[in-house]
């Protein structure tokens, strides 16, 4: 039974609300471990869902699921040490919603029914809003308000889009279940006008959640105000979940022969996101916001890659996996920096290389990875996207793409250098414990290993996923 994998964290999440923190903290790690085990079993056996109308195991879902499991497990280990260092109000609420958040995100990766997908993505918003408000300050309140309002409105747009897809079925006289897999098979007979309208609304809706510009405004606020483990989850996996909704709709578009239409829109939104990130990252004075803008950039890269198709779509999936691994490690390291320097501003940090050497290694290699240095995976992914764009003759697109990436690299590097090597007079308030740096090292190491050695089953799953949107290594 596939559904067990999101039921387990749901139940433990509910339990976590009512137990003291001595039980809640281990519960987080234990659930993470069980979840990881279950998703590995799912990879191995690929069973059929019990409610097969609503849930299905798909290649793209499996990829996201594995990333979620691995990330959550490592983040939960970090969280235990993190919670010992800071004081937060009502810790049981924090752990409870972390687990519920995990449950809803898992549900997104497994859902096959259009409406269940929508409900699951909306549920991720509701489960993660209290996490952003953990610190109970005026600023975190503002971030939560923006997050809930903007994302709810966005998700409402996606609902409208989903309704339009059902309308496309009615007008095309198609009788099939309302699931992505069934619709992909009958895509040719769907009414193209309403399907296009549906796609646009779904892209805008889930794009809001994914952080595509110009609907990204909630993202830097939410990521910077949330406690670092929650930021790592938001950036590392929540954005992917929203992308999954777009990806699956794009599958229908491709099967219906409307991929020219969908690619153009994806590329335009993708480029806008990269450009928005390039504009704002240059004058960013908070490191967590800087990382958030880098997430917007990477979501843009993924959208552009998916839009271009072919080898670029393969590159987009590679980017997605590695972005999750590297960015979550960066957010965890930023948690250490915040605890160490007690300040969010870049100008109040410095000399990390000698003050916090272990965190420095994690943060700096994360920076190298996310900016697309070889040997990290983002380099390979971006290379595939660029090659794919040249193959399909999209020279203007790729010109803007490369130029914006250079600007972002310059801005990012400038700030990271300041944090790492500038003078700093104050004292560091954090002793670097092993459990607060090892999760980052493991995440980065996984990214590194995936570049040189990718298991055949993972490779095959990526190829299966991108074939459905006209991608592949050929």
* Residues lying near other proteins in the complex (CB under 8 A): 113, 115-116, 118-119, 122-123, 126, 129-130, 133, 136, 138-139, 141-146, 148-149, 152-153, 155-156, 159-160, 163, 166-167, 169-171, 178, 220-221, 224-225, 280, 283-284, 289
Helix/strand/coil percentages in the chain, nearest 5? 80, 0, 20
Q: Which is nearer to other proteins, 82 or 133 (CB)?
A: 133
Distance CA 108, CA 237 (A): 11
Q: Which is nearer to other proteins, 87 or 283 (CB)?
A: 283
Q: Which is nearer to other proteins, 272 or 302 (CB)?
A: 272
Smallest gap from residue 393 Cβ to other proteins (A): 36
Smallest gap from residue 9 Cβ to other proteins (A): 18
Q: Which is nearer to other proteins, 112 or 432 (CB)?
A: 112
Smallest gap from residue 188 Cβ to other proteins (A): 18
Smallest gap from residue 237 Cβ to other proteins (A): 21
Smallest gap from residue 138 Cβ to other proteins (A): 5
Q: Which is nearer to other proteins, 120 or 448 (CB)?
A: 120
Smallest gap from residue 118 Cβ to other proteins (A): 6
Q: In 3D, which of 155, 173, 139, 150 has the Cα closest to residue 104?
A: 155
Q: Which is nearer to other proteins, 167 or 186 (CB)?
A: 167
Smallest gap from residue 55 Cβ to other proteins (A): 14
Smallest gap from residue 185 Cβ to other proteins (A): 16
Smallest gap from residue 156 Cβ to other proteins (A): 6
Residue carrying structure tokens 């919603």: 97
Q: Which is nearer to other proteins, 118 or 254 (CB)?
A: 118
Q: Which is nearer to other proteins, 29 or 167 (CB)?
A: 167
Q: Which is nearer to other proteins, 142 or 422 (CB)?
A: 142
């Amino acid at each position: 039974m596939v559904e067990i994998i999101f039921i387990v964290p749901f139940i433990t999440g509910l339990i976590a609300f009512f137990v003291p923190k001595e039980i809640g903290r281990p519960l987080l790690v234990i659930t993470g471990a069980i979840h990881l085990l279950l998703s590995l079993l799912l990879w191995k056996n690929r069973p059929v869902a019990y409610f097969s109308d609503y849930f299905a195991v798909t290649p793209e879902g499996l990829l996201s699921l594995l990333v979620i499991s691995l990330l959550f497990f490592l983040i939960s280990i970090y969280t235990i040490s993190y919670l010992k260092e800071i004081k937060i109000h009502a810790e049981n609420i924090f752990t409870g919603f972390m687990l519920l958040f995990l449950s809803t995100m898992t549900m997104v990766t497994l859902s096959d029914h259009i409406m269940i997908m929508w409900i699951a993505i909306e549920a991720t918003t509701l489960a993660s809003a209290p996490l952003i408000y953990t610190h109970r300050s005026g600023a975190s309140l503002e971030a939560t308000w923006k997050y809930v309002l903007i994302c709810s409105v966005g998700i409402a747009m996606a609902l409208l889009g989903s309704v339009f897809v059902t309308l496309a079925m009615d007008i095309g006289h198609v009788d099939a279940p309302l699931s992505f897999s069934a619709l992909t098979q009958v895509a040719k007979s769907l009414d193209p006008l309403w399907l296009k309208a549906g796609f646009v609304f779904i892209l805008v809706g889930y794009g809001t959640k994914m952080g595509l510009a110009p609907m990204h405004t909630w993202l830097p606020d939410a990521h910077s105000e949330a406690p670092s483990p929650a930021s790592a989850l938001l950036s590392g996996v929540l954005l992917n979940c929203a992308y999954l909704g777009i990806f699956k709709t794009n599958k229908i578009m491709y099967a219906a022969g409307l991929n020219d239409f969908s690619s153009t829109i994806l590329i335009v939104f993708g480029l806008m996101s990269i450009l928005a990130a390039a504009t704002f990252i240059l004058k960013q004075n908070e490191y967590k916001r800087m990382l958030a803008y880098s997430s917007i950039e990477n979501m843009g890269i993924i959208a552009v890659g998916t839009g271009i198709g072919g080898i670029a779509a393969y590159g987009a999936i590679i980017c997605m996996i590695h972005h999750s691994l590297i960015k979550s490690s960066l957010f965890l390291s930023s948690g250490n920096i915040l605890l160490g320097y007690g300040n969010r501003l870049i100008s109040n940090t410095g000399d990390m290389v000698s003050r916090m050497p272990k965190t420095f290694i994690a943060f700096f290699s994360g920076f190298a990875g996310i900016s697309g240095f070889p040997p990290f995976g983002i380099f390979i992914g971006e290379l595939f996207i660029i090659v794919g764009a040249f193959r399909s003759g999209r020279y203007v697109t790729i010109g803007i793409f490369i130029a914006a990436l250079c600007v972002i690299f310059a801005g990012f590097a400038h700030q990271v250098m300041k944090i790492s090597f500038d003078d700093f007079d104050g004292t560091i308030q954090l002793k670097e414990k092993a459990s607060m740096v090892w999760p980052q090292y493991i995440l980065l190491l996984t990214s590194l290993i995936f570049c040189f050695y990718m298991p055949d089953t993972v490779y095959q799953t990526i190829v299966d996923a991108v074939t459905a949107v006209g991608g592949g290594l050929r």
